[in-house]
C-alpha cells in the first residue's frame, strides 16, 4: 500500500471581482505552504471532490460567502508539485470576511498595479489579475 503523498496537489482559487479590484488574502506566517504571502482565496480539493465544488466549500469556510462557480476555470497554473484551477467569481451571497486567522491574517481588494512590491504566493498572480479585471470591463 502506497502511503506517500500524491506527487501533485490539486488546488482551486477564486478571483473575486468587484469595482475593478480583486480580493486577495494574506496567508498567515504559520501556514505550511507559501506562508506570509498574498494569494487568491481557495484551497485543496478533497479526494473525489469536483474542483468547482471544492472552491464553493473553501470560499464558504474561509470567507463566509456562497459563491456562484460556473463555467470552466478562467486559468490553470501549474507548479512543480501542484495544479491550481482558477475561476473568476462575479456573484456571491454574503460579504467576504476572514473566518479563520490561522489561514489568513488580512484581506484586501486590490488592483493588479497595487500588487507591485507585495510578496506573492506565485509570480503569475499580477498577470492573472490584470487579464481577469480587463475581461470584466
Q: What is the pLDDT of residues 21-47, one digit of tens each?
A: 999 999 988 888 788 899 999 999 999
What is the per-residue pLDDT across 62-82, written as a single tens digit (0 to 9) for each? 999 999 998 899 999 998 888
In the block, cell 506565485 appears at 122
User: Residue 48: CB partners within 8 Å, gap ≥ 6?
Assistant: none
What is the per-residue pLDDT across 92-128, written as a single tens digit (0 to 9) for each? 999 999 998 888 899 999 998 999 989 999 999 999 9
Joined grid coordinates for residue 7: 506527487
The proportion of the chain whose per-residue pLDDT surpasses 70, expressed as a percent, equals 93
Stated pTM of the model: 0.89
Amino acid at each position: 500500500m502506497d502511503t506517500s503523498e500524491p506527487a501533485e496537489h490539486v488546488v482551486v482559487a477564486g478571483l473575486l471581482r468587484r469595482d475593478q479590484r480583486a480580493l486577495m488574502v494574506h496567508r498567515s506566517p504559520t501556514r505550511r505552504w507559501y506562508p506570509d504571502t498574498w494569494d487568491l482565496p481557495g484551497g485543496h480539493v478533497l479526494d473525489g471532490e469536483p474542483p468547482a465544488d471544492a472552491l464553493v466549500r473553501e470560499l464558504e469556510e474561509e470567507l463566509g460567502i456562497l459563491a456562484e462557480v460556473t463555467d470552466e476555470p478562467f486559468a490553470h497554473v501549474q507548479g512543480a508539485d501542484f495544479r491550481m484551477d482558477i475561476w473568476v467569481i462575479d456573484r456571491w451571497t454574503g460579504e467576504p470576511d476572514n473566518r479563520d486567522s490561522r489561514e489568513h491574517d488580512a484581506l484586501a481588494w486590490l488592483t493588479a498595479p497595487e500588487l507591485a512590491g507585495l510578496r506573492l504566493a506565485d509570480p503569475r498572480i499580477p498577470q492573472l489579475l490584470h487579464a481577469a479585471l480587463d475581461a470584466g470591463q
